[in-house]
Structure 1
Amino acid sequence: MNATRLADAFAQVTEYWSPKVIGRVNDQLLKVAKLKGEFVWHAHEGEDELFYVVKGSLVIEFEDGPVALSQGDFLTVPRGVRHNPVAAQECWVLLIEPASTKHTGEEITPRTRSIEEQLR
């Protein structure tokens, strides 16, 4: 067994909005991502998704209003809830979500990454 340093994991992320899998706990994947700008409105019909802000700040827009997250904050987006992450400046997040979670739900955009891409 080897420890993983989050800073080293983030150093491997070279594209915004392109999460990388860094670990697994049962059927949950741990992913790191660097975010900047606006993502895409989407939902994950069968899975909850946890956002933990490691560095920077993030606003997650919901249909009934935004939620602002600062460094050290986390938020679980319940399954089926449409959301759109927005980062005015570079933000580092740790994501925890089931292995079955599609990156952009059923929305397919140029930013959509397959699980194979996230595992590289």
Structure 2
Amino acid sequence: MSIPAVVNLAEKLASFNDHWKPHIVGHYNGNEIRVAKIGGDFTWHAHPETDEMFLIIKGKMGIEFRDGVRHFGAGEMVVVPKGVEHRPFATEECHILFLDREGESNTGDTPSHRTRAKLESI
């Protein structure tokens, strides 16, 4: 067995500037560990087959649900259950780590201008 690599999230996030363009920084039990910088509004979407976990590294974000909104900041996380329609947003740049099933579209079941066909590993 080889010794696992340590991932420095600050370095990974410093390596790109685009908003809403997730990058893969690791894999865990069939999931991709992704980081992204976000700002403004994302699109309404759901992930019918899988939950989605968001952890805020820096800044604040919100997630709008059809029946309300959740706001959270650095050090806080939320798990969006599979099939729940949601729309992430951030009024200022926010850095996040999130987990999605390997190969899961970043826009779930609703392709849009924010869909990334292939995510880059960094």
Hey, which bits of structure 1, 4+ residues long, moved more than 4 A? none
8 Å contact from structure 2 (residues 42, 87) kept in 1: yes
Higher share in helix: 1
Find out whether 1:90 has 2:93 as its counterpart: yes
User: After the TM superposition, which of the residue ranges 50-59 and 5-14 deviates more from structure 2?
Assistant: 5-14
Q: Tell me how far 1:97 sits from its aligned partner.
A: 1.7
Q: How does 1:48-63 map to 2 (within 5 A)?
A: 48-63=51-66
Q: How does 1:67-78 map to 2 (within 5 A)?
A: 67-78=70-81
Identity of aligned residues (%): 35
Residue aligned with 1:104, SS: coil
Find out whether 1:44 has 2:36 as its counterpart: no
Q: What is the TM-score when the length of structure 1 is the normalising length?
A: 0.93
Residue aligned with 2:79, SS: strand
CA RMSD, Structure 1 to Structure 2 (Å)? 1.2
Residue aligned with 1:29, SS: strand
Q: What is the TM-score when the length of structure 2 is the normalising length?
A: 0.92
Find out whether 1:119 has 2:121 as its counterpart: yes
- Quote the Cα distance in structure 2 between the aligned partners of 1:83 and 1:25: 24
Where structure 1 has 5 or more consecutive residues not aligned to the other structure, the ranges are none
Where structure 2 has 5 or more consecutive residues not aligned to the other structure, the ranges are none
Q: Tell me how far 1:48 sits from its aligned partner.
A: 0.3
The 1:96–1:117 alpha-carbon spacing in structure 2 relative to 1, beyond 3 Å, is: closer
